[in-house]
Amino acid sequence: MKLLHEHHVDKQRVTDYAALLHVTANHLNKVIKETTSKSPTRWIDEAILLDAKVLLAQTLDPVGAVASAVGIGDASYFSRLFRKYEGMSPGEYRKMMRGE
């Protein structure tokens, strides 16, 4: 978890964390899933989205800029990921947070 909080912007694949921990990606997937009931990918996505939600609520930066700031170069992928977990688009989230 410490590595995730330190590196989630620049390391977004399970293999990146497995390498940092000197284990295989399969082993890391298995251990994390057994321990937390969430996959490492889900933990990574949630850390990214937490940062994104803060930026969306506190800035007027375009969605593409927010995506880049959290380490996702493709704004449309970012929007799909955001919708998958939050049930709304980044723009809709921003409006909700601003009370619009």
- Kindly report, residue by residue over 9-64, the tens digit of the pLDDT: 899 999 999 999 999 999 999 999 999 999 999 999 999 999 999 999 999 999 99
Residue 88 pLDDT greater than 90, yes or no: yes
Which pLDDT band holds residue 100 (cuts at 50, 70, 90)?
confident
- The two tokens of residue 16 are 């990146």
Task: Tell if the pTM clears 0.85, that is, is over it.
Answer: yes
Task: List, as own/partner pairs, every contact residues 1-6 make where C-beta atoms lie below 8 angstroms and the sequence separation is at least 24, other chains included.
Answer: 1/43, 4/43, 4/44, 4/47, 5/47
Residue pointed to by tokens 């992928």: 77
What's the average model confidence in pLDDT over 74-87? 97
- The two tokens of residue 90 are 């980044």
Domain boundaries defined on the chain: 2-98
CATH of domain 2-98: 1.10.10.60
